[in-house]
Amino acid sequence: MSIQFTYGMREEEFDTIIRFVSREELLSENVGDAQWVHPQLDASLRQHFENKLFKAEPKETLCLATLGLLSASYVIYVGVPGPGMNTDSLRDAAAAAAKAAKRLKAVSVRQILPGYLSIISQESLISEAAQALTEGYLLGTFTRKSEKKDGEKGQSTIQSVSFNSSQASAQESAPWEAGIRRGTVFSQSVGYARDLVNLPGNRLTPEMLAEEAESLALTYGLDCEVLDEWSAAEQGMGGLLGVGQGSANPPRMIVLHYNGAPQDEEIWGIIGKGITFDTGGISLKKPQGMEAMISDMGGAAAVLGAMRIIGELQPAVNVVAVIPTAENMPSDRAIKPGDVIAMMSGLTVEVVNTDAEGRLVLADGLTMAIRRGATKLVDVATLTGAVGVALGDIATGAVTNDETLLQEVILASKKAGERIWQLPAYPEFRKQLDSDAADLKNSGGRYGGASTGGLFIGAFAEEKPWVHLDIAGTAYLERGRSWESKGGTGVMVRTLGELLIP
């Protein structure tokens, strides 16, 4: 899909016209004089509203056939908040519009811009609005790839969307085009991450994920190193090797480097959990829902999506991206409860639950990032079921040792419209990880599980500023909502993008 900004009322051919409308507009005393698209169609809109067939609630849509009144075949009215309109509501409205247009099998869409956008003078605000609208359209029409015989069924037919303003001038198009460009890159990178998360486990082993990272690096000129199981053993990666030893598909440690600011000593370390399938190992999971464990590499997908954004936009920033990837399988070689392993950092861990494997590979991932020069760390992982109990599939949980860094991450998440909620990191939670057999154990039990899981990873941050993002509840949805798709959501790709490229 291509998206462009146009100014003036062009007589171009569109098969669908979209107009946002608020309840306040429809309740206005002058509503009888209001013109949104066409007098007769607007009269039908008002009639639907009076009959309570359309309430103009946020994200609600009303599709009307034009019956020859316009060259377009359909007009779609989309409900939006009134005075409280912001980038989140713009993104939601655009996603609702895109889905409605997709149902109509629209090909070319004209989006009439809300009037208030035409009077914004600050270029940064215009760009943010353009980015939000673009993300709504592109993410809202995302369709999961499948291996069905009729694989094209359900794909969007929309080829172009034009954001049209009658009040803007050619001089004002630059911030719109910049926002559309950024929104396109961010959305396509989310789609890339979603496609990775949705791949079946037999289509994405650790080695295949490493090959995907190498391909991404080649495309964008990034430096890439992949450590196999022998190199990992030489460097003492006991966490990665311990988790991966039960599978016929050996683990990999993937490292991507981007040096966009050679004179800057600051290096971001972003680490993504890459468990390509998680059975729980010897601590076997229940069969029900285990098929969704293809999503256990959602953190790795988020990191690769963020690196795709960096590759496209080439910002002045330094990043080392680390993805420890393995399969967690039960076998005669698998790690067992009670085993003690030595980590890359030199700390020892008593494994009390083999289903708490993500934190083991991430611990080695943090150590790798630090040894590659990272000065501050953000890890993204589908880490605990406990975070889903606490926050559902609505918000990502966060644990940190540095409030300033966390506030940077939260600010980025607000720009992206992805919710993050801070979890407590009380000393009592860290004490739950004490072990009699080793420096620490990999599970502190059920109580406070989201916090203790994060704090285990934090034990390997080596006093570097660090934020852990637990996306176990948000990385994979059973039902889509707004611009978030059913299946893999690509969550945290855009948050990382906003963080690294403000």
Catalytic residues: 285, 359
In the chain, what is the greatest distance between 2 CA atoms, to the nearest angstrom? 79
CA dist., res. 76 & res. 481, Å (int): 19
Can you say how many angstroms the Cα of residue 421 is from the centroid of all Cα atoms in its chain?
Answer: 16
CA dist., res. 108 & res. 3, Å (int): 10
Task: Output the CA torsion sign for 53, 56, 58, 64.
Answer: positive
DSSP 3-state of 161: strand
The separation between the first and the last C-alpha atoms of the chain, rounded to the nearest angstrom, is 25
CA dist., res. 104 & res. 36, Å (int): 21
> Residue 278, annotated ligand binder?
yes
DSSP 3-state of 392: coil
Q: Do 347 and 444 meet the contact criterion of CB atoms below 8 Å apart?
A: no
| Contacts with 244 (C-beta within 8 Å, 6 or more apart), sequence order | 206, 229, 250, 251, 326, 327, 328
CA dist., res. 72 & res. 68, Å (int): 8
Strand partners, 475: none
- Per the listing, tokens 């790709």 go with 493
Q: Do 394 and 425 meet the contact criterion of CB atoms below 8 Å apart?
A: no
Task: Output the CA torsion sign for 196, 200, 206, 210.
Answer: negative
> Residue 436, annotated ligand binder?
no
CA dist., res. 187 & res. 90, Å (int): 15
Tell me the residue type at 361: V
Tell me the residue type at 89: S
Q: Do 133 and 94 meet the contact criterion of CB atoms below 8 Å apart?
A: yes
CA dist., res. 365 & res. 237, Å (int): 9
DSSP 3-state of 37: coil
> Residue 357, annotated ligand binder?
yes
Q: Do 451 and 378 meet the contact criterion of CB atoms below 8 Å apart?
A: no
Task: Output the CA torsion sign for 125, 130, 136, 142.
Answer: negative
User: Quick one: residue 445, left, alpha or beta (phi over 0 = left, psi -120 to 50 = alpha)?
Assistant: left
Residues making up the annotated binding site for Mn(2+) are: 273, 278, 296, 355, 357
